[in-house]
Chains A and B, each alone.
Chain A
Amino acid sequence: MTRVFAILLLALTTAACEREQRRFSEASPASGAPQTLKMGQLEPGGSAQQVTIRSEYDENAWAISEGQRYYEWFNCVGCHAHGGGGMGPPLIDSRWIYGSEPENVFATIMQGRPNGMPAFRGRIPQQQAWQIVAFVRSIALLTPKDVRPQRSDSLYYQEPSGQEPSRSPAGQPGRRP
């Protein structure tokens, strides 16, 4: 009896494993992201109900590795390097100029930002953009640990020149995260 129970339990654990699930073609987590997007906490008339978009890709190792591929292919590395930053700000630190929620990062990619971030709307299909979002959040350690790709121990980051140094948790700018 216990053996049957153990086998059932084992089968149940595999059924729960979604981190590797591959969905090749599907509707994006949120097509209406920019409408619900908030850049700050203040709202007139008190705080309305919080609407957050949960991106399933954040918990999916396959989607994150696809995002990593597109991050290279679409030349995010050109400015952000492998997260350490260069001409563009670093992505592996804890400072987020335009917000760190999935919809914030999505909007940053699609709309572009002043000082050089191009708008990729119409260029990167939504599904791929959400996968890039998941990868960018994963290198900033915002996704669950078990789906994150490996990150080099020797990866440092620095602010682009001419910008205010960030406050890392340790209180020292430009430190290893």
Chain B
Amino acid sequence: MNWPQSMLGAAGPHAGGVERLWWLFFWVSAAVYVAVVIATLLAIFHHRRPADPQDPAHAHRAGRAIAVATGISLVLLFVLLISSVQTGRYSIQGLADPSHVNISVTGQQWWWQVEYESAIPSQTFVTANEIHIPTGRPVLLKLQSGDVIHSFWVPNLSGKKDLLPGHENELWIQADREGVYRGQCAEFCGHQHAHMGLVVIAESPGKYNRWLEAQRRPAAEPHDDTAKRGRDVFLSGPCVMCHAIRGTGAGGRTAPDLTHLASRLTLAAATVPNTPGHLAGWISDAQGIKPGNRMPTMAINAEDLQALVKYLQALK
């Protein structure tokens, strides 16, 4: 769960621009700070009292010093202004490439629905809280919201962009290095805003395509009796009111799609790692892990719970 989440470790061109801008601001501000401190110390300890304060030459010298300082400040401020405007324009610019990947991201209280689009309808699929992208290829994220305003922010890849109800926003990202980058909702959106995380996994095109193929397949059939019982528990219980597992009768659309749950790194929007223990805890007492989230507390007996966990853990 210790994935980088820092804009100082840019992994793509857009974040790279922001990072360069940040360092420019840092060094200019540091230089100005040092200069001001030195000037103040000089004024305190090296102050030469003029022989005659009324001397016009002294007033002229002081006026010239102020003009020079103002001029330098003006130039510096313009350098910062122009570079910041340029970075801003670049970072909202599309990365024109016909081979870009289209992904639709919908913010929900408090998780992310991720839909991989395709010209062939049967190849589209829905997953949650985890975005896989190929390295070196631009990705167009279409950002929407299902309820309130959220903000998509993966600092290593891009700046923030809001997800607005009733309006689609676009955000281009690209990763040039393989890696797992953590993201976070950056607009307060209610009780569990702080636990509304996601992970972006940038991987080589070959690995990415294999992942796509696996995700497009319906859920794996359970093999042994325990897992079969787990599937029955899932399909006959309250789970199906909200969750979907492709290939079964479960078709709820208001909660994360669980078709390939076991292939994900985290549970509950990057709140806990995806391990059998955490999964069991999440099913039986989600309100204890993430109070206020939409997953209700389940009255489920221990054997059914174990079977259910086994079934879900096999959904690779």
Contacts and interface: CB of A to CB of B under 8 A. Distances in A.
A135 B193 CA distance: 26
A123 B296 CA distance: 12
Interface string A125-159: 11110000000000000000000000000000000
Nearest to B253: A73
B254 A22 contact: no
A5 interface: no
A25 interface: yes
25 contacts: A22-B191, A22-B292, A24-B287, A24-B291, A24-B292, A25-B285, A25-B287, A25-B291, A25-B296, A25-B297, A73-B241, A73-B242, A73-B254, A74-B241, A122-B237, A123-B237, A123-B240, A123-B241, A124-B238, A125-B238, A125-B296, A125-B298, A125-B299, A126-B299, A127-B296
Contacts of A123: 237-238, 240-241
A124 B237 CA distance: 8
Nearest to B288: A25
A23 to B, nearest CB: 10
B123 interface: no
Top 5 A-B residue pairs of the complex, sorted by shortest distance between their CB atoms: A25-B287, A125-B296, A25-B297, A24-B287, A73-B254
Interface in A66-103: 73-74
Contacts of B242: 73
Nearest to A69: B294
Interface of B: 191, 236-238, 240-242, 254, 285, 287-288, 291-292, 296-299
Nearest to B239: A123
B77 to A, nearest CB: 47
A126 B296 CA distance: 9
Nearest to A25: B287
Given A22-B292, A24-B292, A73-B254, A125 B240 contact: no
A125 B287 CA distance: 14
Name the prevailing secondary structure of the B interface residues: loop
A24 B191 CA distance: 11
Contacts of B254: 73
B232 to A, nearest CB: 12
A160 B203 CA distance: 56
Most buried by B among A73, A122, A124, A127: A73
A118 to B, nearest CB: 12
Given A73-B254, A127-B296, A128-B296, A122 B288 contact: no
B241 A127 contact: no
A77 to B, nearest CB: 13
Contacts of A125: 238, 296-299
A37 B236 CA distance: 26
B148 to A, nearest CB: 12
Contacts of B240: 123
Nearest to A74: B241
A78 to B, nearest CB: 13
Interface in A1-44: 22, 24-25
Contacts of B237: 122-123
A126 B298 CA distance: 9
Contacts of B238: 122-125
Contacts of B299: 125-126
Contacts of A122: 236-238
A73 B242 CA distance: 8
Most buried by B among A24, A74, A122: A24
A24 B292 CA distance: 5
Question: Which of A22, A125, A128 has the most chain B CB atoms closer than 10 A to its own CB?
Answer: A125
Contacts of B297: 25, 125, 127
A151 B107 CA distance: 27
A111 to B, nearest CB: 16
Given A24-B292, A73-B254, A124 B241 contact: yes
Nearest to A127: B296
A3 B297 CA distance: 46
A95 B298 CA distance: 34
A74 B243 CA distance: 11
A128 B293 CA distance: 13
A168 to B, nearest CB: 33
Which residue, B191, B237, B242, B296, has most C-beta atoms of chain A within 10 A?
B296
